[in-house]
């Protein structure tokens, strides 16, 4: 059975493509009740090569620029030889473009999400309601990504094959330790 490490899992399940996988959750917040309660900057203390995939949805932006390398190296460390990281981060450049084109202010609503309206400041500095409710500084955003910045960071972490697409206000990356085989390409195309 394939194993997925779902980092920063919280209450949101991973995408349907991981249905049938053994899912291990990791979060710094013990209130999220993760399988592993730890800081993602310390993944290299875990046994290497034990996960087929790492899924990190809106996690990397919570680390400062100099910490992102350690987090990505940790992803690489825990992946099997054929493993990959599936990463989602806010697309900071699309937000900046929308602000400029639509003359938005920092507290203007950028889009509506299932949790409610998301303002420009929520994307840039973290969802303010969650930060206030939790009282935890680790919910703040400390860095932003463009497609090029994310690609460079992944290649610097030794991922051999990187694909980055765009979603609604986000970047979606698949970063493979090695060039993916035919079966992995089929999974991506679905």
Please indicate, yes or no, if residue 20 is contained in any of the structural domains.
Answer: yes
3-state helix, strand, coil in the chain (%, to 5): 40, 30, 30
Structural domain boundaries enclosing 171: 3-91+139-189
B/e letters for 20-40, b = 16+ CB within 10 Å, e = fewer, are ebebbbbbbeeeeebeeeebb
| pLDDT value for 184 | 55
Domain tally, the chain = 1
Note if the pTM is more than 0.75.
yes
Quick check: is 41 in a domain? yes
Q: Judge whether 121 lies within some domain.
A: no
At 165, which CATH number? 3.40.50.150
For residue 155 the two structure tokens come to: 């290649």
Note whether residue 134 is domain-resident: no
- Residue 110: inside a domain, yes or no? no
Q: Is residue 131 part of a domain?
A: no
106, 121 Cβ separation under 8 angstroms: yes
Mean pLDDT in order along the chain per 10 residues (190 residues): 91 89 94 92 97 97 96 98 97 95 96 91 91 86 96 97 94 94 48
114 within domain boundaries: no
Residue 75 CB-density burial (10 A; 0-12 exposed, 13-18 middle, 19+ buried)? buried
Detail the DSSP E strand segments found in the chain.
Answer: 3-7, 22-27, 36-37, 51-57, 79-90, 109-113, 116-119, 161-166, 170-176
């Amino acid at each position: 059975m394939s194993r997925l490490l779902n980092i920063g899992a919280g209450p949101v399940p991973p995408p349907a493509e991981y249905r049938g996988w053994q899912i291990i959750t990791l979060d710094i917040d013990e209130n999220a009740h993760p399988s592993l309660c730890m800081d993602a900057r310390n993944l290299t203390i875990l046994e290497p090569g034990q996960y087929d995939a790492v899924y990190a949805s809106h996690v990397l932006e919570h680390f400062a620029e100099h910490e992102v390398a350690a987090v990505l190296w940790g992803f690489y460390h825990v992946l099997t030889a054929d493993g990959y990281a599936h990463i989602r981060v806010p697309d900071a450049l699309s937000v900046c473009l929308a602000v400029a084109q639509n003359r938005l202010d920092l507290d203007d609503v950028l889009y509506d999400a299932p949790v409610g309206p998301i303002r420009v400041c929520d994307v840039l500095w973290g969802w303010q309601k969650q930060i206030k409710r939790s009282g935890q500084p680790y919910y703040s955003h400390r860095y932003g990504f463009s497609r090029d910045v994310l690609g460079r960071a992944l290649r610097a972490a030794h991922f051999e094959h990187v694909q980055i697409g765009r979603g609604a206000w986000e970047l979606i990356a698949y970063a493979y330790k090695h060039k993916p085989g035919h079966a992995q390409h089929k999974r991506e195309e679905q």
